[in-house]
Structure 1
Amino acid sequence: MGDSSNGDSFTVDKSAKIFVAGHRGLVGSAIVSKLREIGFTNLILRSHSDLDLTRQSDVESFFATEKPNFVILAAAKVGGIHANNTYPAEFIAINLQIQTNVIDSSYRHGVKKLLFLGSSCIYPKFAPQPIPEDALLTGPLEPTNEWYAVAKIAGIKMCQGYRIQYKWDAISAMPTNLYGPNDNFHPENSHVLPALMRRFHQAKVTNAKEVVVWGSGSPLREFLHVDDLADAVVFLMKNYSGVSHVNVGSGSEVTIKELAELVKEVVGFEGELVWDSSKPDGTPRKLMDNSMIAGLGWKPKVSLRDGLVDTYNWYLENLKQ
């Protein structure tokens, strides 16, 4: 479990300086909202144009000037299978640069505690289900996103190395599939849930008769609303201080078929849902073992239905036709 004493100060001082790296993304924006909601008044936020995290000298001078007390590292270059296959050099180089610069500068400039965010894709392609933390590095990765995964694994190991050698409080959290406001709804490179939502919405608007979805609908997937992740991040900053990375999942899974039916209902598409079973299904099951964070006393609060309604409302408000 690890000693949590050095994290206890996290929610005490609401004027503590917290640097949230990647505050404009799906994860970072939810973390910023959560921190503001619980009363933090001194968040340090920099857009990419203000601070390029891949440039070591820029990051070094930022930390020397701002001297944040806490750092939450949610900045990353992310994308789907197509992007990973097309830009492997960028996915490994940019992510390694960002995390190396931020983690090292945080340590050197007296940051009390850092939380590094990864992804469930760090685990081997054929990991046991549900996937426990100790499945890390026990087998080959999914080839389509290994560039990103290797960078994220390096980030976990870097936090562990600095903890072991310098007794510095760096922790890592690995979320499952996330969704919510500020998600990517781009037609080419969005993930399954926003892609389904966009397609059902367009079908509704154009009065289409049917929506065709790839596969049989039988694979099982786990989804976590990004507000739940933000809640877990605050919980871990406050309550966890250990060497192991921590899985953050919902602990419940749905079939792609159940998910599609639910999205169809939330969007209000009246047509038919057709499955093209000649198309591939992907991994049959991908679930995180959530028992470590559950044992610490955290559990998710947002139901899938409520989360989908919330996400669809955001999508409608931010729709750029």
Structure 2
Amino acid sequence: MFEDIECEYHIPVLYRETIENLVKNEGGVYLDCTLGGGGHSEGILKALSEKGKLISIDQDQQALDFAGERLGKYGKKWESYKDNFENLDTVLYLAGYDKIDGILMDIGVSSTQLDDPERGFSYRFDTKLDMRMNKNAKVSAYEVVNQYEEGRLSKIIYDYGEERHARKIARLICEIRAEKPIETTGDLVEIIKRAYKGKSPKHPAMKTFQAIRIEVNRELDVLERSIDKAINALKPGGRLAIITFHSLEDRMVKNKFKEMSVDCICPPELPVCRCDNKAKVKIITRKPITPKDDELKFNKRARSSKLRVVERLG
């Protein structure tokens, strides 16, 4: 199934399912909000006719450089912008478009970012604390770990990592950093391990690293704002496809899509509708699309991915 996907950068998850559900107008204009290695972008470009157009966004210059070499062969059919996809409305304005035919968001950190020791995303490497998707961002994991007060740190680890040891981990971090700054991912991993008694079914640092990464890159805030902007940017019949990798993201997408798919939002006790609200979208995927067994054999990191799709109403 995946032999024809040329991607040295990373394997795009739910590749065929995404393209098939997103591209409904071969001559239309599409936006890939998370370019990464360009796997999904190239899939969209292949599905478009010569009249079609794809705009891709990424805040990571490394990704833009790689994809620029890979997708340059498509000429004027493709263009890219360095930005955070929360500014997708500005990007579309600069590109000269008001309403478009489809938008893709592949949320989270890419395999290449995880596998690059210097980026500080992974607990597998002992390197400088960073975790910034945009290397020019002011706040890195170092500032979160060494400057956030204990209560705020505990809340982030609990809310974004769903980590039951959040308070103990935050307390240990504050105790250690009072003596000297916590400089590396390895230092942080050792602190987190102290909060666990006995063996953990997964790496004990996994949830805390996820939480800090989400905080550093404001991932949930960006996602929530971007969904609203994306729906407003679609033509009637245009589609928004979002791939998520953990429950917090998927829950937000599911709830936002549900909220936008109903007419009346009045309290149930009111006998007559007074809100005059109209549904903006039709839900295409009542249940999320998940990877098939053949993809999981090829790409184990796809196991937690979920694809949800909605279509803009007129």
**TM-score between both structures, scaled by the size of structure 2:** 0.33
State the structure with more CA Rg: 2
**TM-score between both structures, scaled by the size of structure 1:** 0.32
